[in-house]
Structure 1
Protein backbone atom coordinates (compact mmCIF):
# COMPACT_ATOMS: atom_id res chain seq x y z
CA UNK A 1 0.00 0.00 0.00
CA UNK A 2 1.16 3.50 -0.87
CA UNK A 3 0.03 6.93 0.28
CA UNK A 4 -0.27 9.53 -2.48
CA UNK A 5 -0.35 13.09 -1.13
CA UNK A 6 -1.37 16.33 -2.83
CA UNK A 7 -0.37 19.16 -0.49
CA UNK A 8 -2.34 22.32 -1.27
CA UNK A 9 -2.10 25.80 0.16
CA UNK A 10 -4.90 25.20 2.68
CA UNK A 11 -6.06 21.61 2.17
CA UNK A 12 -4.21 18.35 1.67
CA UNK A 13 -5.62 15.29 -0.09
CA UNK A 14 -4.30 11.86 0.86
CA UNK A 15 -5.12 8.73 -1.16
CA UNK A 16 -4.43 5.17 -0.07
CA UNK A 17 -3.46 3.11 -3.13
CA UNK A 18 -3.41 -0.66 -3.33
CA UNK A 19 -2.45 -2.34 -6.60
CA UNK A 20 -3.04 0.83 -8.63
CA UNK A 21 -6.51 1.40 -7.18
CA UNK A 22 -7.62 4.10 -4.77
CA UNK A 23 -8.91 2.48 -1.58
CA UNK A 24 -9.56 5.64 0.47
CA UNK A 25 -9.26 9.40 0.10
CA UNK A 26 -8.81 11.68 3.11
CA UNK A 27 -8.89 15.47 3.39
CA UNK A 28 -7.26 17.53 6.11
CA UNK A 29 -5.93 21.06 6.71
CA UNK A 30 -2.42 21.36 5.27
CA UNK A 31 -0.87 22.60 8.51
CA UNK A 32 -1.61 19.26 10.22
CA UNK A 33 -1.21 16.89 7.27
CA UNK A 34 1.87 15.16 8.74
CA UNK A 35 -0.12 14.29 11.88
CA UNK A 36 -2.87 12.75 9.75
CA UNK A 37 -0.25 10.69 7.92
CA UNK A 38 0.99 9.19 11.16
CA UNK A 39 -2.60 8.30 12.06
CA UNK A 40 -3.02 6.60 8.68
CA UNK A 41 0.24 4.73 9.23
CA UNK A 42 -1.15 3.37 12.49
CA UNK A 43 -4.41 2.43 10.76
CA UNK A 44 -2.58 0.85 7.81
CA UNK A 45 0.69 -0.62 9.14
CA UNK A 46 1.52 -2.09 5.71
CA UNK A 47 2.04 1.38 4.27
CA UNK A 48 5.75 1.98 3.78
CA UNK A 49 5.94 4.59 1.01
CA UNK A 50 4.51 8.07 0.62
CA UNK A 51 4.59 9.99 -2.65
CA UNK A 52 3.98 13.69 -2.24
CA UNK A 53 3.78 16.90 -4.23
CA UNK A 54 3.28 20.37 -2.79
CA UNK A 55 2.23 23.60 -4.49
CA UNK A 56 3.90 25.53 -1.68
CA UNK A 57 7.10 25.14 0.30
CA UNK A 58 7.32 21.94 2.30
CA UNK A 59 9.02 22.68 5.59
CA UNK A 60 12.23 20.75 6.17
CA UNK A 61 11.16 19.63 9.64
CA UNK A 62 7.94 18.20 8.19
CA UNK A 63 9.90 16.26 5.58
CA UNK A 64 12.34 14.91 8.15
CA UNK A 65 9.46 13.85 10.39
CA UNK A 66 7.91 11.90 7.52
CA UNK A 67 11.20 10.19 6.74
CA UNK A 68 11.23 8.79 10.27
CA UNK A 69 8.09 6.80 9.44
CA UNK A 70 8.06 6.30 5.65
CA UNK A 71 10.13 5.94 2.54
CA UNK A 72 9.42 9.37 1.01
CA UNK A 73 9.29 10.13 -2.72
CA UNK A 74 8.97 13.89 -3.23
CA UNK A 75 7.83 15.04 -6.66
CA UNK A 76 9.52 18.29 -7.72
CA UNK A 77 10.19 20.23 -10.91
CA UNK A 78 13.41 18.20 -11.22
CA UNK A 79 11.62 14.84 -11.28
CA UNK A 80 11.66 13.09 -14.68
CA UNK A 81 8.47 13.76 -16.63
CA UNK A 82 7.08 11.64 -19.49
CA UNK A 83 6.41 14.57 -21.83
CA UNK A 84 8.33 17.30 -23.63
CA UNK A 85 7.84 20.61 -21.84
CA UNK A 86 7.39 23.35 -24.45
CA UNK A 87 6.45 25.98 -21.84
CA UNK A 88 8.50 29.14 -22.47
CA UNK A 89 9.20 29.53 -18.73
CA UNK A 90 9.38 25.91 -17.51
CA UNK A 91 10.84 26.94 -14.15
CA UNK A 92 7.60 28.78 -13.30
CA UNK A 93 5.28 25.87 -14.11
CA UNK A 94 3.60 24.74 -10.87
CA UNK A 95 4.05 21.17 -9.73
CA UNK A 96 0.29 20.61 -9.73
CA UNK A 97 0.08 21.54 -13.42
CA UNK A 98 3.08 19.34 -14.20
CA UNK A 99 1.42 16.37 -12.53
CA UNK A 100 -1.84 16.93 -14.42
CA UNK A 101 0.16 16.96 -17.66
CA UNK A 102 1.72 13.66 -16.59
CA UNK A 103 -1.72 12.14 -16.22
CA UNK A 104 -2.71 13.40 -19.66
CA UNK A 105 0.47 12.01 -21.20
CA UNK A 106 0.42 8.58 -19.55
CA UNK A 107 -3.31 7.87 -19.40
CA UNK A 108 -4.17 9.22 -22.86
CA UNK A 109 -1.06 8.72 -25.04
CA UNK A 110 -0.97 10.10 -28.60
CA UNK A 111 -4.07 12.22 -28.03
CA UNK A 112 -4.78 15.92 -27.77
CA UNK A 113 -5.73 16.35 -24.10
CA UNK A 114 -6.99 19.42 -22.24
CA UNK A 115 -7.04 19.08 -18.44
CA UNK A 116 -9.20 21.59 -16.56
CA UNK A 117 -8.62 21.74 -12.81
CA UNK A 118 -11.43 23.67 -11.10
CA UNK A 119 -10.25 24.45 -7.60
CA UNK A 120 -8.98 27.61 -5.90
CA UNK A 121 -7.93 28.64 -9.40
CA UNK A 122 -9.16 27.21 -12.66
CA UNK A 123 -6.20 25.94 -14.66
CA UNK A 124 -6.12 24.77 -18.27
CA UNK A 125 -3.27 22.49 -19.36
CA UNK A 126 -2.85 21.14 -22.88
CA UNK A 127 -0.76 18.17 -24.01
CA UNK A 128 -0.82 17.56 -27.76
CA UNK A 129 -0.88 14.26 -29.65
CA UNK A 130 2.90 14.40 -30.06
CA UNK A 131 3.37 14.41 -26.28
CA UNK A 132 4.30 18.09 -26.04
CA UNK A 133 3.09 20.08 -23.07
CA UNK A 134 2.12 23.38 -24.71
CA UNK A 135 0.82 25.39 -21.72
CA UNK A 136 -2.69 26.64 -21.01
CA UNK A 137 -4.33 29.22 -18.80
CA UNK A 138 -5.06 30.27 -15.22
CA UNK A 139 -8.15 32.12 -13.99
CA UNK A 140 -9.84 32.66 -10.60
CA UNK A 141 -11.89 29.77 -9.26
CA UNK A 142 -15.51 30.00 -8.14
CA UNK A 143 -14.76 30.62 -4.48
CA UNK A 144 -12.14 33.24 -5.30
CA UNK A 145 -14.62 35.11 -7.52
CA UNK A 146 -17.22 35.27 -4.77
CA UNK A 147 -14.61 36.46 -2.25
CA UNK A 148 -13.20 39.11 -4.59
CA UNK A 149 -16.62 40.76 -5.02
CA UNK A 150 -16.87 41.14 -1.27
CA UNK A 151 -13.24 42.25 -0.87
CA UNK A 152 -13.09 44.83 -3.65
CA UNK A 153 -16.48 46.48 -3.19
CA UNK A 154 -18.07 48.48 -0.39
CA UNK A 155 -21.49 46.86 -0.14
CA UNK A 156 -21.64 43.55 -1.96
CA UNK A 157 -21.99 40.58 0.41
CA UNK A 158 -19.89 37.44 0.40
CA UNK A 159 -21.97 34.50 -0.79
CA UNK A 160 -21.89 31.17 1.02
CA UNK A 161 -22.00 29.05 -2.09
CA UNK A 162 -22.99 25.40 -1.66
CA UNK A 163 -22.81 24.24 -5.30
CA UNK A 164 -26.34 25.27 -6.11
CA UNK A 165 -27.31 26.24 -9.65
CA UNK A 166 -27.96 29.87 -10.56
CA UNK A 167 -30.74 31.50 -12.57
CA UNK A 168 -29.67 33.50 -15.57
CA UNK A 169 -31.55 36.55 -14.30
CA UNK A 170 -30.92 37.27 -10.64
CA UNK A 171 -33.89 38.91 -8.91
CA UNK A 172 -31.90 39.96 -5.83
CA UNK A 173 -28.34 41.07 -5.17
CA UNK A 174 -27.38 37.61 -3.93
CA UNK A 175 -28.96 35.91 -6.96
CA UNK A 176 -27.29 38.42 -9.27
CA UNK A 177 -23.88 37.62 -7.80
CA UNK A 178 -24.55 33.90 -8.11
CA UNK A 179 -25.68 34.39 -11.71
CA UNK A 180 -22.64 36.45 -12.64
CA UNK A 181 -20.10 34.16 -11.02
CA UNK A 182 -21.54 30.74 -11.80
CA UNK A 183 -22.86 31.41 -15.28
CA UNK A 184 -19.66 33.32 -16.03
CA UNK A 185 -17.47 30.35 -15.04
CA UNK A 186 -19.60 27.94 -17.05
CA UNK A 187 -19.50 30.21 -20.11
CA UNK A 188 -15.74 30.63 -19.72
CA UNK A 189 -15.05 26.91 -19.58
CA UNK A 190 -17.44 26.08 -22.43
CA UNK A 191 -15.95 28.83 -24.57
CA UNK A 192 -12.35 27.79 -23.93
CA UNK A 193 -13.13 24.15 -24.69
CA UNK A 194 -14.72 25.20 -27.98
CA UNK A 195 -11.62 27.20 -28.96
CA UNK A 196 -9.36 24.22 -28.23
CA UNK A 197 -11.68 21.90 -30.17
CA UNK A 198 -11.54 24.16 -33.21
CA UNK A 199 -7.74 23.90 -33.31
CA UNK A 200 -7.29 20.32 -32.07
CA UNK A 201 -9.44 17.53 -33.55
CA UNK A 202 -10.54 14.62 -31.38
CA UNK A 203 -9.78 16.59 -28.22
CA UNK A 204 -10.06 14.70 -24.94
CA UNK A 205 -11.25 17.02 -22.15
CA UNK A 206 -10.71 16.08 -18.50
CA UNK A 207 -12.36 18.05 -15.71
CA UNK A 208 -11.01 17.66 -12.19
CA UNK A 209 -10.71 19.54 -8.90
CA UNK A 210 -13.03 20.39 -6.05
CA UNK A 211 -15.73 21.98 -8.22
CA UNK A 212 -15.58 19.34 -10.96
CA UNK A 213 -18.70 17.45 -9.91
CA UNK A 214 -20.84 20.60 -9.97
CA UNK A 215 -19.41 21.95 -13.22
CA UNK A 216 -19.64 18.64 -15.08
CA UNK A 217 -23.43 18.88 -14.83
CA UNK A 218 -23.46 22.42 -16.23
CA UNK A 219 -20.95 22.34 -19.08
CA UNK A 220 -22.39 21.45 -22.47
CA UNK A 221 -19.22 20.12 -24.07
CA UNK A 222 -18.49 16.42 -23.76
CA UNK A 223 -15.94 15.89 -20.98
CA UNK A 224 -14.52 13.24 -18.69
CA UNK A 225 -15.06 14.37 -15.09
CA UNK A 226 -12.73 12.89 -12.49
CA UNK A 227 -12.30 14.59 -9.12
CA UNK A 228 -9.20 12.55 -8.20
CA UNK A 229 -7.34 12.79 -11.51
CA UNK A 230 -4.38 14.58 -9.90
CA UNK A 231 -3.98 11.86 -7.25
CA UNK A 232 -4.08 9.16 -9.94
CA UNK A 233 -1.60 11.17 -11.99
CA UNK A 234 0.77 11.34 -9.02
CA UNK A 235 0.61 7.57 -8.72
CA UNK A 236 1.23 7.19 -12.47
CA UNK A 237 4.26 9.47 -12.18
CA UNK A 238 5.59 7.45 -9.25
CA UNK A 239 5.39 4.26 -11.35
CA UNK A 240 7.01 6.08 -14.28
CA UNK A 241 9.91 7.26 -12.11
CA UNK A 242 10.42 3.71 -10.87
CA UNK A 243 10.68 2.41 -14.43
CA UNK A 244 12.80 5.42 -15.45
CA UNK A 245 15.39 4.65 -12.79
Structure 2
Protein backbone atom coordinates (compact mmCIF):
# COMPACT_ATOMS: atom_id res chain seq x y z
CA UNK A 1 0.00 0.00 0.00
CA UNK A 2 0.93 3.65 -0.39
CA UNK A 3 1.36 5.82 2.69
CA UNK A 4 0.36 9.35 1.64
CA UNK A 5 1.37 12.13 4.03
CA UNK A 6 -0.07 15.65 3.90
CA UNK A 7 1.85 17.89 6.32
CA UNK A 8 -0.09 21.11 6.83
CA UNK A 9 0.43 24.01 9.17
CA UNK A 10 -2.03 22.65 11.75
CA UNK A 11 -2.18 18.88 11.21
CA UNK A 12 -0.27 16.10 9.50
CA UNK A 13 -2.59 13.60 7.80
CA UNK A 14 -1.44 10.05 7.14
CA UNK A 15 -3.48 7.83 4.82
CA UNK A 16 -3.12 4.26 3.62
CA UNK A 17 -4.07 4.08 -0.05
CA UNK A 18 -4.56 0.91 -2.08
CA UNK A 19 -5.31 1.14 -5.81
CA UNK A 20 -6.59 4.69 -5.36
CA UNK A 21 -8.89 3.76 -2.44
CA UNK A 22 -8.22 5.18 1.02
CA UNK A 23 -8.17 2.30 3.49
CA UNK A 24 -7.38 4.27 6.65
CA UNK A 25 -6.46 7.80 7.67
CA UNK A 26 -5.10 9.42 10.82
CA UNK A 27 -4.04 12.93 11.82
CA UNK A 28 -1.68 14.40 14.37
CA UNK A 29 -0.92 18.00 15.32
CA UNK A 30 1.90 19.48 13.28
CA UNK A 31 5.09 19.94 15.27
CA UNK A 32 8.27 20.50 13.27
CA UNK A 33 10.27 19.22 16.25
CA UNK A 34 8.55 15.83 16.24
CA UNK A 35 11.10 13.12 15.47
CA UNK A 36 10.80 10.16 13.12
CA UNK A 37 10.84 7.87 16.16
CA UNK A 38 7.87 9.69 17.71
CA UNK A 39 5.94 9.46 14.44
CA UNK A 40 6.77 5.75 14.21
CA UNK A 41 5.54 4.85 17.71
CA UNK A 42 2.26 6.67 17.16
CA UNK A 43 1.72 5.41 13.60
CA UNK A 44 2.60 1.78 14.26
CA UNK A 45 0.06 1.62 17.08
CA UNK A 46 -2.63 2.99 14.77
CA UNK A 47 -1.69 0.57 12.00
CA UNK A 48 -2.07 -2.29 14.48
CA UNK A 49 -5.48 -1.02 15.60
CA UNK A 50 -6.59 -1.15 11.95
CA UNK A 51 -5.22 -4.69 11.62
CA UNK A 52 -2.12 -3.80 9.58
CA UNK A 53 1.55 -4.56 9.99
CA UNK A 54 4.05 -1.90 8.94
CA UNK A 55 5.17 -4.20 6.13
CA UNK A 56 1.99 -3.30 4.19
CA UNK A 57 3.55 0.11 3.44
CA UNK A 58 5.40 -0.32 0.15
CA UNK A 59 5.82 3.35 -0.80
CA UNK A 60 5.57 6.80 0.78
CA UNK A 61 4.72 10.16 -0.79
CA UNK A 62 4.77 13.47 1.08
CA UNK A 63 3.32 16.91 0.43
CA UNK A 64 4.29 19.56 2.95
CA UNK A 65 3.98 23.29 3.48
CA UNK A 66 6.16 23.02 6.60
CA UNK A 67 9.75 22.63 5.34
CA UNK A 68 11.15 21.88 8.82
CA UNK A 69 8.87 18.85 9.15
CA UNK A 70 10.07 17.21 5.94
CA UNK A 71 13.36 15.70 7.15
CA UNK A 72 11.81 13.69 9.98
CA UNK A 73 9.04 12.41 7.70
CA UNK A 74 11.66 11.26 5.20
CA UNK A 75 13.56 9.53 8.01
CA UNK A 76 10.30 7.86 9.08
CA UNK A 77 9.93 6.42 5.58
CA UNK A 78 13.51 5.16 5.29
CA UNK A 79 14.09 3.96 8.86
CA UNK A 80 10.75 2.36 9.64
CA UNK A 81 9.29 1.44 6.24
CA UNK A 82 12.48 0.82 4.28
CA UNK A 83 11.60 3.10 1.36
CA UNK A 84 12.78 6.44 0.02
CA UNK A 85 9.87 8.87 0.22
CA UNK A 86 8.74 10.74 -2.85
CA UNK A 87 8.18 14.44 -2.18
CA UNK A 88 5.63 16.44 -4.15
CA UNK A 89 7.42 19.02 -6.28
CA UNK A 90 10.87 17.45 -5.86
CA UNK A 91 12.34 15.40 -8.77
CA UNK A 92 11.60 12.75 -9.86
CA UNK A 93 8.06 13.83 -8.91
CA UNK A 94 6.74 16.12 -11.63
CA UNK A 95 3.47 17.98 -11.18
CA UNK A 96 2.32 17.05 -14.67
CA UNK A 97 0.25 20.24 -14.98
CA UNK A 98 1.01 23.75 -16.19
CA UNK A 99 1.53 26.18 -13.30
CA UNK A 100 0.60 29.54 -14.81
CA UNK A 101 2.07 31.68 -12.04
CA UNK A 102 4.73 34.39 -11.85
CA UNK A 103 6.62 32.34 -9.23
CA UNK A 104 5.55 28.69 -9.63
CA UNK A 105 7.88 27.48 -6.86
CA UNK A 106 6.10 29.66 -4.31
CA UNK A 107 2.81 27.78 -4.64
CA UNK A 108 2.03 25.47 -1.71
CA UNK A 109 2.29 21.78 -2.51
CA UNK A 110 -1.16 21.12 -1.05
CA UNK A 111 -2.77 23.60 -3.47
CA UNK A 112 -1.20 21.95 -6.52
CA UNK A 113 -2.04 18.45 -5.29
CA UNK A 114 -5.66 19.58 -4.86
CA UNK A 115 -5.61 20.92 -8.41
CA UNK A 116 -4.40 17.58 -9.78
CA UNK A 117 -7.17 15.66 -8.01
CA UNK A 118 -9.91 18.13 -8.90
CA UNK A 119 -9.01 18.16 -12.60
CA UNK A 120 -8.89 14.36 -12.64
CA UNK A 121 -12.35 14.15 -11.06
CA UNK A 122 -14.16 16.95 -12.92
CA UNK A 123 -14.29 18.55 -16.34
CA UNK A 124 -14.33 22.27 -17.08
CA UNK A 125 -13.14 25.25 -15.07
CA UNK A 126 -12.83 24.63 -11.36
CA UNK A 127 -12.47 26.53 -8.12
CA UNK A 128 -11.21 24.56 -5.11
CA UNK A 129 -11.77 25.94 -1.62
CA UNK A 130 -9.60 24.36 1.07
CA UNK A 131 -10.55 25.15 4.68
CA UNK A 132 -7.28 24.84 6.57
CA UNK A 133 -5.12 27.13 8.69
CA UNK A 134 -5.60 29.50 5.78
CA UNK A 135 -8.62 29.26 3.50
CA UNK A 136 -7.38 29.01 -0.06
CA UNK A 137 -9.33 29.48 -3.29
CA UNK A 138 -7.55 27.91 -6.28
CA UNK A 139 -8.44 28.12 -9.95
CA UNK A 140 -7.81 25.39 -12.53
CA UNK A 141 -8.98 25.96 -16.09
CA UNK A 142 -10.65 23.43 -18.37
CA UNK A 143 -7.26 22.32 -19.73
CA UNK A 144 -5.93 21.48 -16.28
CA UNK A 145 -3.70 24.56 -15.98
CA UNK A 146 -3.29 25.98 -12.49
CA UNK A 147 -3.99 29.70 -12.75
CA UNK A 148 -3.52 30.92 -9.18
CA UNK A 149 -6.01 31.92 -6.54
CA UNK A 150 -6.68 33.59 -3.20
CA UNK A 151 -5.29 33.12 0.31
CA UNK A 152 -7.54 34.27 3.15
CA UNK A 153 -7.14 33.83 6.93
CA UNK A 154 -8.71 30.58 8.11
CA UNK A 155 -11.75 30.89 10.33
CA UNK A 156 -9.90 29.52 13.38
CA UNK A 157 -7.08 31.97 12.74
CA UNK A 158 -9.58 34.83 12.51
CA UNK A 159 -11.24 33.80 15.78
CA UNK A 160 -7.88 33.44 17.54
CA UNK A 161 -6.90 36.94 16.42
CA UNK A 162 -10.23 38.40 17.56
CA UNK A 163 -10.08 36.80 21.02
CA UNK A 164 -6.35 37.32 21.46
CA UNK A 165 -6.44 41.01 20.62
CA UNK A 166 -9.40 41.91 22.86
CA UNK A 167 -9.65 41.98 26.63
CA UNK A 168 -13.23 40.85 27.21
CA UNK A 169 -14.37 38.77 24.25
CA UNK A 170 -14.73 35.08 25.18
CA UNK A 171 -13.64 32.10 23.11
CA UNK A 172 -16.63 30.58 21.30
CA UNK A 173 -17.21 27.43 19.30
CA UNK A 174 -17.25 27.75 15.53
CA UNK A 175 -20.80 26.84 14.61
CA UNK A 176 -23.82 28.27 12.85
CA UNK A 177 -25.79 30.67 15.07
CA UNK A 178 -28.98 29.08 16.38
CA UNK A 179 -30.78 32.40 16.04
CA UNK A 180 -31.57 33.23 12.41
CA UNK A 181 -31.28 36.94 13.11
CA UNK A 182 -28.01 38.61 12.17
CA UNK A 183 -28.46 41.07 15.04
CA UNK A 184 -26.70 39.53 18.00
CA UNK A 185 -28.54 40.13 21.28
CA UNK A 186 -25.57 39.13 23.46
CA UNK A 187 -21.82 39.45 23.04
CA UNK A 188 -21.54 35.74 22.21
CA UNK A 189 -24.36 35.95 19.65
CA UNK A 190 -22.69 38.92 18.03
CA UNK A 191 -19.44 36.98 17.76
CA UNK A 192 -21.21 33.94 16.30
CA UNK A 193 -22.85 36.12 13.67
CA UNK A 194 -19.64 37.92 12.80
CA UNK A 195 -17.49 34.80 12.59
CA UNK A 196 -19.93 32.43 10.90
CA UNK A 197 -22.05 34.63 8.62
CA UNK A 198 -19.09 36.88 8.00
CA UNK A 199 -17.18 33.88 6.70
CA UNK A 200 -20.11 32.71 4.59
CA UNK A 201 -20.22 36.18 3.05
CA UNK A 202 -16.47 36.00 2.37
CA UNK A 203 -16.85 32.64 0.63
CA UNK A 204 -19.83 33.68 -1.48
CA UNK A 205 -18.36 37.06 -2.34
CA UNK A 206 -14.97 35.73 -3.45
CA UNK A 207 -16.51 32.88 -5.46
CA UNK A 208 -18.81 35.36 -7.22
CA UNK A 209 -15.82 37.53 -8.15
CA UNK A 210 -13.85 34.50 -9.37
CA UNK A 211 -16.74 33.29 -11.54
CA UNK A 212 -17.18 36.76 -13.03
CA UNK A 213 -13.49 36.96 -13.91
CA UNK A 214 -13.28 33.44 -15.35
CA UNK A 215 -16.33 34.12 -17.53
CA UNK A 216 -17.20 30.47 -18.15
CA UNK A 217 -19.24 27.90 -16.19
CA UNK A 218 -17.36 26.97 -13.03
CA UNK A 219 -17.67 24.06 -10.60
CA UNK A 220 -16.80 24.79 -6.97
CA UNK A 221 -15.21 22.01 -4.91
CA UNK A 222 -14.79 22.35 -1.14
CA UNK A 223 -12.36 20.37 0.98
CA UNK A 224 -11.02 20.55 4.51
CA UNK A 225 -12.57 19.85 7.88
CA UNK A 226 -14.96 22.82 8.00
CA UNK A 227 -16.39 22.43 4.49
CA UNK A 228 -19.46 20.53 5.69
CA UNK A 229 -20.15 23.17 8.37
CA UNK A 230 -20.56 25.89 5.75
CA UNK A 231 -22.30 23.66 3.24
CA UNK A 232 -25.39 23.70 5.48
CA UNK A 233 -25.96 27.40 4.92
CA UNK A 234 -24.69 28.23 1.44
CA UNK A 235 -25.38 26.83 -2.02
CA UNK A 236 -22.02 27.92 -3.41
CA UNK A 237 -20.41 24.44 -3.29
CA UNK A 238 -21.06 21.97 -6.09
CA UNK A 239 -19.06 19.17 -4.46
CA UNK A 240 -17.63 18.37 -1.02
CA UNK A 241 -14.52 16.20 -1.31
CA UNK A 242 -12.82 15.81 2.05
CA UNK A 243 -9.95 13.66 0.78
CA UNK A 244 -8.97 15.81 -2.19
CA UNK A 245 -5.34 16.25 -1.11
CA UNK A 246 -4.81 12.55 -0.41
CA UNK A 247 -6.42 11.69 -3.77
CA UNK A 248 -4.04 14.10 -5.46
CA UNK A 249 -1.03 12.53 -3.75
CA UNK A 250 -2.15 9.08 -4.87
CA UNK A 251 -2.49 10.30 -8.48
CA UNK A 252 0.90 12.00 -8.28
CA UNK A 253 2.50 8.79 -7.05
CA UNK A 254 0.89 6.73 -9.84
CA UNK A 255 2.10 9.19 -12.49
CA UNK A 256 5.64 9.12 -11.12
CA UNK A 257 5.65 5.34 -10.87
CA UNK A 258 4.54 5.02 -14.49
- What TM-score do the two structures reach when normalised by structure 1? 0.89
Q: Describe how 1:32-181 pairs up with structure 2 within 5 A.
A: 32-40=38-46, 43-45=51-53, 46-57=56-67, 58-70=69-81, 71-78=83-90, 79-109=93-123, 111-161=124-174, 163-165=175-177, 167=179, 168-181=182-195
Q: Runs of 5+ in structure 1 lacking a partner? A: none
Which has the larger displacement, 61-70 or 175-184?
61-70
Note if contact 1:82-1:106 (Cα within 8 Å) is conserved in structure 2.
no
Instruction: Name the counterpart of 2:254.
Output: 239
Over 4 Å off, 4+ runs = 40-43
Q: CA deviation at 1:91?
A: 2.0
SS in 2 for 1:84: coil
Which has the larger displacement, 60-69 or 174-183?
60-69
SS in 1 for 2:85: strand
SS in 2 for 1:206: strand
The answer to whether residue 26 in structure 2 is matched with residue 4 in structure 1 is no
Q: Runs of 5+ in structure 2 lacking a partner? A: none
Q: Partners of 2:170 and 2:251 in 1: how far apart?
A: 43
Note if contact 1:166-1:178 (Cα within 8 Å) is conserved in structure 2.
no
Paired residues in the alignment total 241
Change in 2 beyond 3 A, CA 1:211/1:2: same
Q: CA deviation at 1:183?
A: 0.5
Q: Partners of 1:149 and 1:191 in 2: how far apart?
A: 22
Note if contact 2:64-2:70 (Cα within 8 Å) is conserved in structure 1.
no
Note if contact 2:221-2:241 (Cα within 8 Å) is conserved in structure 1.
yes
